[in-house]
């Protein structure tokens, strides 16, 4: 990432403290020198959002070491798995978390005003695709995170494409509302704004109402938006849904400072987008994947079709394969940890996303659902569960829905209400309203209230807010009258 702006402009705003681009440059150079002196080859960060995290990310690039961002909401088992799989030899974290490794040699350091601990871990080197500078981990369906190896060129290409596409919007202040360890915020919320010369507001996520990976206080978030006056923010659909619901219930509107609220990670739905915009939230849906170094398509003011994933960004290309699967190109990853590189063979320029979709005559990309999730009912009708789930979660009472019914005569669903006090009658009314918008073969005949939080920690969702379907079915199969995955052997 090349910083090419005024050294005295504010790069990072942490509320009580602000760092100019000159300070950021000095801090990153100092930490890079320390990384080199320690002989680091693969460094992991395990800390919440802060200016120190941004400095560490930039310092790793300057030191020529691989950066492995670890989410703080990973379980100890997931952290151990990711660290071992990536061959992490150095860990930069906050002192309380450093106590998990009581025997590791430590070096205290201060980064962007924050006291941190650098630990030396006894890891063996692992083979990485040539050119790997960052490894991002996604939650696997079994709970074991999967490592995606990324290049500097791929990451920079995406950031540059975002800067080019959003230049007419004139975004000079971005509020970081997702964990930095999530690639979407790392690239679109840090790299792109800094490349543009904007200010990144790097408050602890607890001050924005986000706890863990999915507990979200919309009232606190709204207060932070009003106080910080950002031009842009990136949200997951469930965060947008909760915020819009809060504004509607309290007769409030989003502040006029906002120019772009990008929403991604899971399907959003045109109904939610229209409701949000009516409340002053300039919400626009996008689409991307870790294997493409994050964002590939995005709706923007003046180039928008609600319900679509937007048009391709300058760095990206999207096409539809013969079986309807979307394929992307332009900023592909280098490979998965422990597997053959994605781009080792000559002529492999496109990556299958696993998503079914189409591109309309105006160039808007539509994501119709996951290829492997398509349900075939007992009557032979093909149904994408994401389509039905979007209809359900577009109703105010439903925060999240997951649909099942493969081989069944009718569909069923697990529902997470927007508030625990909502009655079954309110949820049934929401299901009835959603069913009215669907053909008979895609309607929900029975449903079950969720038995666990929709979160990474509960095993019910991924980092980006997508459902862990196997885990959800395992927990609710009996109540829904379905066969549990465990019973299939």
365 in any annotated domain: yes
Q: What is the pLDDT of residue 100?
A: 92
Window from 232-241, 263-272, 390-399 with minimum mean pLDDT: 263-272
pLDDT per residue over 221-259, tens digit each? 999 999 999 999 999 988 999 999 999 999 999 999 999
Q: What are phi and psi of 294, to 5 degrees?
A: 95, -130
* CATH for 81: 3.40.50.980
Domain identity same for 206 and 317? yes
Window from 180-194, 291-305, 368-382, 426-440 with minimum mean pLDDT: 368-382
In order of 30, 82, 87, 286, 463, the CA distances from 44 in angstroms are 17, 9, 10, 28, 18
- Per-chain mean pLDDT for the chain: 91
* CATH for 322: 3.40.50.12780
Domain identity same for 295 and 379? no
Percent of the chain with pLDDT over 70: 95
135 in any annotated domain: no
Total tally of structural domains belonging to the chain: 3
Domain identity same for 275 and 186? yes
Q: What is the pLDDT of residue 348?
A: 59
Q: What is the pLDDT of residue 475?
A: 95
Which residue range forms the structural domain that includes residue 397? Answer: 374-488
Q: What are phi and psi of 369, to 5 degrees?
A: 140, 170
Q: How confident is the model over 84-99, as a mean pLDDT? A: 95
Domain identity same for 66 and 112? yes
Domain identity same for 386 and 423? yes
Give the Cβ contact number of residue 10 at 10 Å.
18
Q: What is the pLDDT of residue 464?
A: 73
155 in any annotated domain: no
What pTM value is reported for the model?
0.85
Give the Cβ contact number of residue 163 at 10 Å.
19
324 in any annotated domain: yes
Q: Which residue has the tokens 């504010």?
A: 10
Domain identity same for 312 and 213? yes
pLDDT per residue over 211-228, tens digit each? 765 578 999 999 999 999
**pLDDT at residue 77 greater than cutoff 70:** yes
pLDDT per residue over 124-167, tens digit each? 889 999 999 999 987 554 456 789 999 999 999 999 999 999 99
3 in any annotated domain: no
Burial-class residue 113 by CB neighbours within 10 Å (0-12, 13-18, 19+). Answer: middle
144 in any annotated domain: no
Burial-class residue 459 by CB neighbours within 10 Å (0-12, 13-18, 19+). Answer: buried
Query: Which residue, of 104, 126, 148, is where some domain finishes?
Result: 126
């Amino acid at each position: 990432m090349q910083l090419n702006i005024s050294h005295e402009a504010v790069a990072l705003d942490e509320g009580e403290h602000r760092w100019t681009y000159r300070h950021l440059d000095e801090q990153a150079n100092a930490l890079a020198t320390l990384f080199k002196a320690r002989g680091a080859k693969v460094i992991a960060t395990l800390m919440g959002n802060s200016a120190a995290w941004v400095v560490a990310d930039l310092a790793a690039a300057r030191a020529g070491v691989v950066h492995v961002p670890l989410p703080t909401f990973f379980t100890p088992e997931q952290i151990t798995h990711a660290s071992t799989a990536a061959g992490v030899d150095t860990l930069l974290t906050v002192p309380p978390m450093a106590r998990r490794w009581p025997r590791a040699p430590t070096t205290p350091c201060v980064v962007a005003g924050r006291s941190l601990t650098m630990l030396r871990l006894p890891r063996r080197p692992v083979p990485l695709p040539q050119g790997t500078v960052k490894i991002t981990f996604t939650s696997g369906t079994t709970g074991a995170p999967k490592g995606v190896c990324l290049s500097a060129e791929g990451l920079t290409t995406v950031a540059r494409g975002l800067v080019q596409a959003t230049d007419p919007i004139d975004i000079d202040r971005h509020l970081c509302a997702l964990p930095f360890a999530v690639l979407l915020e790392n690239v679109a919320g840090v790299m792109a704004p800094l490349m543009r010369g904007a200010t990144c507001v790097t408050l602890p996520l607890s001050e924005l109402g986000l706890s863990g990976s999915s507990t979200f206080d919309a009232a606190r978030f709204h207060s932070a938006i009003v106080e910080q006056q950002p031009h842009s923010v990136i949200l997951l659909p469930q965060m947008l849904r909760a915020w819009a619901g809060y504004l509607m219930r309290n007769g409030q509107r989003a502040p006029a400072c906002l120019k772009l609220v990008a929403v991604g990670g899971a399907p959003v739905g045109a109904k939610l987008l229209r409701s949000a915009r009516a409340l002053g939230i300039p919400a626009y849906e996008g689409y991307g994947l870790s294997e493409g170094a994050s964002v590939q398509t995005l709706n923007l003011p003046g180039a928008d079709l609600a319900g679509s994933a937007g048009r391709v960004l300058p760095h990206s290309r999207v096409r539809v394969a013969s079986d309807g699967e979307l394929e992307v190109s332009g900023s592909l990853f280098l490979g998965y940890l422990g597997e053959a590189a994605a781009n080792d063979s000559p002529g492999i320029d496109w990556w299958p996303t696993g998503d079914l979709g189409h591109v309309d005559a105006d160039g808007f990309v539509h994501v119709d659902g996951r290829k492997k999730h398509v349900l075939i009912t007992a009557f032979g009708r093909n149904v994408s569960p994401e389509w039905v789930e979007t209809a359900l979660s577009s109703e105010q009472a439903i925060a999240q829905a997951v649909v099942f019914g493969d081989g069944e005569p009718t569909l069923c669903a697990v529902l997470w209400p927007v508030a625990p006090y909502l009655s079954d009658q309110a949820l049934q009314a929401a299901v009835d309203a959603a069913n009215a918008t669907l053909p008979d073969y895609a309607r929900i005949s029975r449903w079950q209230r969720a038995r666990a939080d929709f979160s990474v920690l509960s095993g019910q969702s991924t980092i980006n807010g997508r459902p862990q379907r196997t885990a959800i079915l395992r927990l609710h199969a009996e109540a829904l009258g379905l066969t549990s995955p465990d019973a299939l052997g």
